[in-house]
Chain A
């Protein structure tokens, strides 16, 4: 295929003509991209809008803000919003608004500040420019201790993922490599716990956590969810595909069971571990209900719980919510970009006939 990116993006069944299936496929894919990325793009753009820009109707796509000019009004230098006004005689002028009374706006020409003009508000239209409201980001990060929340989230996510990978792979190793009575039963129990929703065990787990004195500690978020049935099952199924000969060869090589686990099975399970790591990072990063329950002091909040704090009973600070939502999205995106190639590479498929 020639033509680089454009050639890649317009690949067809046959080189010459567009078949209707080509058109259908591209429409379908474009729709998919729109459905999946549309909200994200909207979110990112909106996170740069001012509070006023967010509630504006009809909404604008790009973050726009009204242009302001410095005008000296009655001896005072004031910053006034600029409007494009259609005058009675049909001419168009750019005027700054001093104040608005009912349906009449009192305006002034920045070039000639001494003269004020009264204009019906229907005849003026704000002049706007593309402007990013960085304060949406800087304010929460500086004033509301969001960096602390960010660190808490990173800590919870990293520790929980490491612990999850470690104990899930150990359980999977036991269930995949060893033959013992009740193996299927044990696996059945593990998978059976998938059917119990978290809301059912919320109160008992909370009581346990309280008894252990872990309330308001990040470990209370990390430990209860570390063993996941999905993870055990995923890793076990993958480990079953590792040829038995390799395990037996390791046994003949005087490897202890720990060595077999750590030096043979774990490296060969890397693709499955990467998948589980990605899942675990996403689960932990987005976790909301459980941290909300066990973390009550604001210095222990994770990002998700911190975001919730912007939603007051009467007033939602949408500009902060949106900006911080973007912040919470970034790390998962980066993680996914780096780890996703592991999902597709099969490392264990080599070396054996």
Chain B
């Protein structure tokens, strides 16, 4: 267990900058998820922590010690790879014992550790098999077991669930969360799946194009996104984003003009001059539907998805104006036909207002 500190860490391949100065502090026993779209540099960051990738600038510190030039094998970390990277010529037992043999641990100690990890992961009966005789989920467990037996300072996970099918992924996700409770180690987990991030993390680090967009607890990111990227990335389905222009604003009101000559009044003021363009973000569940003409915008339903306990509508405002398709969430079952007109009413205290550069201007008072 350990505490990790990244100070202005940068990575460049020749002249291509991949990580633009990441400052992240991870506390002892925390489960931190690095999340972002593919190519955002999250795996690179993890590999730099592991010592598999050189740090171009900045410092990686483990327990207060700068480890930039300490090779991966001496950092005392364990990593679970996306491909599992099990040694195909060794049995499950040998795979798990390999790391311990390299530290010249006595045989009985190795044996007891491997068996304990085997029991914890319920793979005891697989110990004498070769990796190719295992299913994806079993391989995954072995890969995790190989990390556990080492009792590392920090566990690193590089998209460990992405090769599993959907059902298994959910099951393994739950097991990983339970595992973290049980052994309580510091864990750093990389994924592009924001649901994994939301469900597993104590804290999430959202990365985009090599920059840290926001660091925070899952619900903090969800309720108070720091910028448009986080707002769009966290939450499924995505937040609805509407562009508009501030017509006038005072202490408790803001009059906005939306495309198609619609106007809309927010019940709070913005600290900007009139004429500025802004983006309004509203989550699907913060929009209510009603009969045509009763709400803020009338829309035509393109598609409705009935999930049983809840319903999603995808609807586009008719006519010119360039308003995008909007996603609306309703609890319960609603039979709405394609082409039907509905009216949407936004919960104005729940919306987020973003400036033209993507940064947050104001969260609705409902997110205080």
Contact = CB atoms under 8 A, between A and B. Distances in A.
A348 interface: yes
Closest 9 CB pairs of A and B: A351-B88, A350-B132, A253-B99, A351-B131, A249-B85, A245-B85, A254-B102, A267-B89, A251-B72
Contacts of B52: 248, 251-252
* Most central of B50, B82, B84, B150 by chain A CB within 10 Å: B84
A12 B71 CA distance: 60
Interface in B82-109: 82-89, 98-99, 102-103
Interface in A32-75: none
A263 B50 CA distance: 22
Interface stretch (B73-81, B203-211, B357-365): B73-81
Contacts of A254: 73-74, 99, 102-103, 150
B83 A243 contact: yes
A352 B84 contact: yes
Nearest to B53: A248
A333 interface: no
A246 B83 CA distance: 9
A243 B85 contact: yes
Interface string B122-156: 00000000111000100100000010001000000
Given A248-B81, A249-B79, A351-B132, A256 B73 contact: yes
B78 A252 contact: yes
B163 interface: yes
Nearest to A266: B89
A346 B146 CA distance: 25
A290 to B, nearest CB: 36
A234 to B, nearest CB: 20
Nearest to B94: A263
Interface string B60-80: 000000000001111001110
B103 A246 contact: no
Contacts of A248: 50, 52, 72, 79, 81, 85
Interface in A236-284: 243, 245-246, 248-256, 259, 263-264, 267-268
Interface residues of A, number: 23
A76 interface: no
A252 B88 CA distance: 17
17 contacts: A249-B86, A249-B87, A252-B52, A253-B99, A253-B146, A254-B73, A254-B103, A264-B87, A268-B88, A348-B88, A350-B88, A350-B130, A350-B131, A350-B132, A351-B84, A351-B139, A353-B163
Contacts of B136: 353
Interface of B: 50-52, 71-74, 77-79, 81-89, 98-99, 102-103, 130-132, 136, 139, 146, 150, 163
A352 B82 CA distance: 10
Contacts of A243: 83, 85
A259 B101 CA distance: 10
A329 interface: no
A198 interface: no
A245 B81 contact: yes
Contacts of A253: 73, 98-99, 102, 146, 150
Given A351-B131, A353-B163, A251 B86 contact: no
B87 A351 contact: yes
Interface of A: 243, 245-246, 248-256, 259, 263-264, 267-268, 347-348, 350-353
Contacts of B82: 245
A52 B111 CA distance: 72
B98 A255 contact: yes
B98 A263 contact: yes
Given A253-B98, A254-B102, A259-B102, A351 B73 contact: no
A264 B132 CA distance: 16
Given A248-B52, A350-B88, A255 B81 contact: no
Contacts of B84: 351-353
B151 to A, nearest CB: 12
Contacts of A350: 88, 130-132
B132 A252 contact: no
A252 B72 contact: yes
A267 to B, nearest CB: 4
Given A248-B85, A252-B72, A350-B132, 16 more contacts: A248-B79, A249-B81, A251-B51, A251-B52, A252-B99, A253-B146, A256-B102, A268-B88, A348-B88, A350-B131, A351-B87, A351-B130, A351-B132, A351-B139, A352-B83, A352-B88
Contacts of B146: 249, 253
A352 B50 CA distance: 21
Contacts of A263: 98
A246 B87 CA distance: 7
A245 B130 CA distance: 18
A256 B72 CA distance: 11
A252 B50 contact: yes
